[in-house]
């Protein structure tokens, strides 16, 4: 129902209005799926721009992100999303696709993300790159988000979706389950780059963000891969 409106706004490059409509879309999902979002966030949220790094255990994560954050942000996601009719609309015009199998396009996506941060726009990234087979346990984090933070000096805001995997499982697996209920999300205190310029800085950022996201998962689902 919202597709024609999204299409028109994107064609006119009215991205802020697209973002506001996405927020409405997300709240509508909460009502239709009987899945209200309960957000826990710190008092010291940065003004922005910042990089949002979140675990990824359900396709609900993307849609409900717009209920967790009011500040404008742009998604940076895997290039495969260009194959999905609705997400293709966003990733062709507004969001940033990352073609991991093509180094040239991956570098181009990295530079575009850096440009958006310089403009004052926040970026949202799933550092696992996709929903890992181990979900809800964390998979290994890729380095892109942390190199981006180290090079631009912007903080990272770690995010844990605690139980979305219970709300909506893997669509291709009829036994994966899913049912209505509260979607719990924890927004952690920001992690700031040290500014040392040392080559190991992004590694330290990656480890700390992993630790924070993992710490909020249910004990049975915490990863052993630190």
pTM over 0.85: yes
Q: Which residue has the tokens 């440009």?
A: 115
What is the rounded average pLDDT for all residues in the chain? 88
pLDDT at 226 over 50: no
- C-alpha 82/C-alpha 92 separation (Å) is 7
| pLDDT band per the 50, 70, 90 thresholds, residue 137 | very high
DSSP state of 188: P
Residue pLDDT, tens place only, 145-183? 999 999 999 999 999 999 998 887 665 554 456 778 999
What is the domain partition of the chain in residue ranges?
3-221
Helical segments of 69-200, H only: 85-93, 103-118, 144-152, 164-167
4-18, 39-53, 172-186, 188-202: least confidently modelled range: 172-186
- Report how far residue 202's alpha carbon sits from residue 148's, in angstroms, rounded to the nearest whole number: 8
- CATH code 3.30.750.24 for 3-221: no
Inter-residue contact 72 to 16 (CB < 8 Å): yes
- Token code pair at residue 61: 């994560």
Expressed in percent and rounded to 5, the helix, strand and coil fractions of the chain are 45, 15, 40
CA torsion angle 28 86 160 16 (round to 10) = -70
pLDDT at site 224: 53
pLDDT at 138 over 80: yes
Give 79-117 pLDDT, tens digit per residue. 776 677 777 888 888 999 888 777 788 888 999 999 999
CA atoms within 13 A on the CB side of 109: 26
What local confidence, expressed as pLDDT, does residue 182 receive? Answer: 94
């Amino acid at each position: 129902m919202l597709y024609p409106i999204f299409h028109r706004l994107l064609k006119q490059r009215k991205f802020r209005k697209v973002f506001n409509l996405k927020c409405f879309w997300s709240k509508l999902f909460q009502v239709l799926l009987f899945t209200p979002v309960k957000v826990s966030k710190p008092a010291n949220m940065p003004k922005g721009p910042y990089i949002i790094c979140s675990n990824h255990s359900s396709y609900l994560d993307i849609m409900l992100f717009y209920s967790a954050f009011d500040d404008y942000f742009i998604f940076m996601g895997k290039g495969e999303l260009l194959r999905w009719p609705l997400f293709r609309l966003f990733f062709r015009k507004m969001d940033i696709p990352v073609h991991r199998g093509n180094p040239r396009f991956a570098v181009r996506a990295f530079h575009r993300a850096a440009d958006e941060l310089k403009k004052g726009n926040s970026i949202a990234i799933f550092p696992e790159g996709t929903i890992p087979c181990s979900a809800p346990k964390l998979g290994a984090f890729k380095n892109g988000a942390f190199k981006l933070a180290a090079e631009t000096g912007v903080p990272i805001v770690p995010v844990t979706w605690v139980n979305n995997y219970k709300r909506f499982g893997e669509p291709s697996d009829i036994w994966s389950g899913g049912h209505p209920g509260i979607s719990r999300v924890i927004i952690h205190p920001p992690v700031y780059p040290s500014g040392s310029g040392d080559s190991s800085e992004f590694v330290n950022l990656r480890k700390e963000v992993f630790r924070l996201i993992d710490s909020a998962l249910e004990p049975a689902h915490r990863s052993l891969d630190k």
